[in-house]
Chains A and B, each alone.
Chain A
């Protein structure tokens, strides 16, 4: 059973560009969470999705950030008009039963130049 897949693993964007981060959950998992990790910091919750629905986006900035988990295909975290402060590692986690037993992907390291 393959683990959680994320791509790209590294992404470099110039200020003002768009960043698209993809996450394919483990087989059989319908719950996806996105987190952001800054250097020397813990993980900060951003958004929780189930297939075609955003369940909780209370941790996600209201401007420039959006997320989706379509019926077919991976979950996407989209950051528009990136700024230097968006540079971080972004992790997704999937779960078979909501907040419990979350399994993380390898992350996407976003660098904004």
Chain B
């Protein structure tokens, strides 16, 4: 089945700097990789996702890149703001079940210092 590793576990940046979070996956059949943002006491919020037929996707200050050969994908946040502070989770698609389900990384706690 799929295994997703996420690094780093904590990340601290100055406001305005960029932040990069990386995930690796094990199942070469995985074709869907979402990223979620979770603020304290709240549910995860889908912020961007990518399918394996594209190498990069952008949405304003957020971008995700995918390297299928190396089996890793990354979240890039530019011009970080204090409100970007949260825990970020990556996920990969596991086809072990009948329909597939998401396997999540352990999360990265991002702190943006003003």
Contacts and interface: CB of A to CB of B under 8 A. Distances in A.
B10 to A, nearest CB: 11
Contacts of B42: 106-107
Q: How large is the interface on B (under 10, 10 to 19, 20 to 34, 35 or more residues)?
A: 20 to 34
Contacts of B89: 42-43
Interface stretch (B12-20, B43-51, B69-77): B43-51
Nearest to A105: B43
Interface residues of A, number: 25
A104 B100 contact: no
A105 to B, nearest CB: 5
Given A42-B89, A43-B89, A99-B32, A104 B45 contact: yes
B98 A102 contact: no
B104 interface: yes
Interface of A: 4, 6, 33, 40-45, 48, 55-56, 58-59, 91, 98-107
